[in-house]
Structure 1
Amino acid sequence: MRVAVIGAGALGSTFAALLDRAGHEVTLVARGEQLKAVREHGIRLGGGFGDWRTTRLVAVPRLEAGSRVDLVLFAVKAQDTAAALDEHGDTIGGAPVLVIQNGLEGVDTVSSALPDSSCIGALSIVAASYLEPGSVTVTTPATTYIGRGTGSPDAEVRKLEAELGEALKLSAIGNFVGAQWTKLLVNQLNALPAITGESVQAVIADRPLRRIMARSMRETVRTGIAAGIRFGSLQGLGNLRLRFFALLPVTLGQALPLLFALRMGSVPNPGSTLQSLKRGQRTEIDFLNGAVVRQARSLGRTAPVNETLTELVHKVEESGVFLTPGDVGHAVETARH
């Protein structure tokens, strides 16, 4: 299969390398030092999916007009969606698009911009670190879930699962919209590492920070419930379990971030938002914690913990200075009261 991967960050590079290893014809759209490194040495994939250096992959700064591809993997960060669509919308043409993106709006945004393309959503639980051009390390290998809408997987989703499921560890799921909300909860792991400069595991090991994370997760679930969401099944989490979690006091709710840390293992996971900061890039926090804030406001509610965490990530973006756990705790408590 001829596949174009737009977005050469941690996930885009991981998927490009896995497709190359499976024998597919891959074109990776990359920029700057990443483009240079991949052109010279390919992508070196290490960690949970095994070791591989790409052999046939082609790296380009943009897709050329008339490019013939069977599938596009749209793997840019949510905040870069508009720019990527402006640049590549005409060259994608009517090729089907797999949108691998966090947040709630990615599939709808891409579908609206590319009316001739059939768009399928993807939720990846893979934890991968890209802190050096041309190299990506998978710290947590996991399934990537694909689907669209609130119903059962349709024929096109099943076809993609059959064609690339083994190479990319894809699994077709129903109630994809509900699963997006469950993934939004999982993405609550990102903000505090970005604010403090610590790994996800280190943040969860810190009891005051863990309580803040549990509060942000509970706030996310309660907002989803208010919006009438039936949470999708993802990583052992589902609608009934998350609704029960929303009722728990924060002391007991800390069990959820502790469970995530247990599944991650001992290899420090910086989280994607902290990785963006370390590369000097804008983060997608407005589409993670910020998405909870927007949803709450649309319902006439507030989400003070998520709003504070969003503001603190932006503060670190602007200053380049990480905050102490004490500073974070003070800001959150002030917002809550």
Structure 2
Amino acid sequence: MKIIIAGAGAMGSRFGLMLHRADNEVILVDGWQEHIDAINKNGLKANFNGEEVVERIPIYNQNEVSTIDFSADLVILFTKAMQLDNMLQSISSLLHEETKVLCLLNGIGHEDIIKNYVPYNNILLGNTMWTSDMEGPGKVKLFGDGSIDLQNLGAGQENVANEVVEVLNQAGLNANYSSNILSSIYKKACVNGAVNGLCTLLGCNIADFGKTTYADAIVEQIVDEFIAIADAQEISLNKDEVLAQIKSSFNPETIGLHYPSMHQDLIVNNRLTEIDYINGVIVRKGKQYQISTPYCTFLTELIHTKEEILGAK
């Protein structure tokens, strides 16, 4: 399958590498020129569960990709949420009527942008529990196991979704078809909303946060706000399941030693974060549904304050 990885950061590099190794025709598209130059010169380097590997995968700057001859069967979106529209504009010449788009971005509501570029029936929403760390331009650290849940948005397009599931599974990405992806997306958003911003502000990995005296109480308050907003939209979430998933992430033998992507963006790379598309969405929807969201509000404001202090761009 001819696949575009749109957003070749830590997670995009993982998916690109694994799909490339499964004999798909993969290209990476990104806006970080130093990263692009490093991959073009030396290949994509990865510590892949302790094994040092190098894969030669074509990568292009999104501002120049319109000049290449490539017609995508599948686009997997891994941009930051605030970069989504610009990325889709950049790759629009590589899309056609049958191109499928799988959105694996953190956050909620991205289909409203994607439908401006491909037919609604071609959109797949998903979430992933895989992790990846960027160790520098052209180099990533891939460790542990993960999974993907995905679903078609268009009615009667289950066969399309299952074709994508099969391609992902051939690459070892542990994909599953979901009949209720919005519930899964909100569940993932709960995990991100309870962990990403706090680890970023506290300057710690997930396990270190989980070991603190106050972690459980803070997490439960944040999860309660997410569940209240989900309930208002008739999206079902099981609080005990969500809390169990968050607590499982504290385990240093699974992903506990991982620093969330928000920490990598702001603290390591001095970039603006996706907080407005995670906790900030809950704040906006809270105002819409007249539901109080004090923890998400304060966390969103603190992250934006930290962005200003650091001069993030």
Q: TM-score, normalised by structure 2?
A: 0.88
Return the letter of the residue paired with 1:158.
N
SS of 2:124's equivalent? strand
2:249 paired with 1:260 = yes
- Give the distance between the partners of 2:253 and 2:201, measured in 1 at CA: 20
> Greater CA deviation, 260-269 or 177-186?
260-269
Aligned twin of 1:270 = 259
Q: Within 5 A, what are the aligned runs for 1:206-245?
A: 206-231=212-237, 241-242=238-239
What per-residue deviation string (whole Å, max 9, x for no partner) do you get for residues 12-52 of structure 1?
11101111111111111122111011111111222449653
SS in 2 for 1:45: strand
* Structure 1 position 270, deviation (Å): 0.7
Where do 1:122-133 residues align within 5 Å?
122-133=126-137
What residue ranges of structure 1 are gaps of 5+ in the alignment?
Answer: 232-240, 247-252, 322-337
Aligned 8 A contact 1:76 1:101 in 2? yes
Distance 1:49 1:300, change over 3 A: farther
* Structure 1 Cα separation of the partners of residues 124 and 280 of structure 2: 23
Q: Which residue does the alignment assign to 1:101?
A: 105
CA-atom RMSD in angstroms: 2.5
Change (3 A) 1:263 1:185: farther
What does residue 72 of structure 2 align with? 69
Relative to structure 1, the CA distance from residue 155 to residue 51 in structure 2 (aligned partners, 3 Å threshold; closer, same or farther) is farther
Asked whether the 8 Å contact 1:149–1:176 carries over to 2, the reply is no
Against the structure 1 CA distance between its residues 51 and 317, is the aligned structure 2 distance closer, same or farther, given a 3 Å change threshold?
Answer: same
CA distance, structure 2, for counterparts of residue 163 and residue 256 of structure 1: 27
How far off is 1:134 after superposition?
Answer: 1.0
Equivalent AA in structure 1 for residue 235 of structure 2:
I
Residue range with higher mean Cα deviation, 220-229 or 59-68: 59-68
Q: Does the CA-based 8 Å contact 1:75-1:99 persist in structure 2?
A: yes
State the alpha-carbon separation in 2 of the partners of residues 289 and 264 from structure 1: 27
- 1:54/1:258 Cα in 2 relative to 1: closer, same or farther (>3 Å)? same
Corresponding letter in the other structure for 2:22: A
TM-aligned CA deviation for residue 139 of structure 1: 3.7
Percent of aligned pairs with the same amino acid: 22
Q: Which runs of 5+ in 2 are unaligned?
A: none
- How big is each residue's C-alpha offset from its partner over 1:232-286, in whole Å with a ceiling of 9 and x where there is no partner? xxxxxxxxx42x579xxxxxx6x66433212763762110100111112111111
How many aligned residue pairs are there? Answer: 303
Check 1:33–1:315 CA distance in 2 against 1; reply closer, same or farther (3 A cut): same
Shift of the 155–96 alpha-carbon distance from structure 1 to 2, 3 Å rule, reads same
C-alpha spacing 1:174/1:48, structure 2 compared with 1 (3 Å): farther
Where does residue 38 of structure 1 map in the other structure? 39
What's the counterpart of residue 82 of structure 1?
85
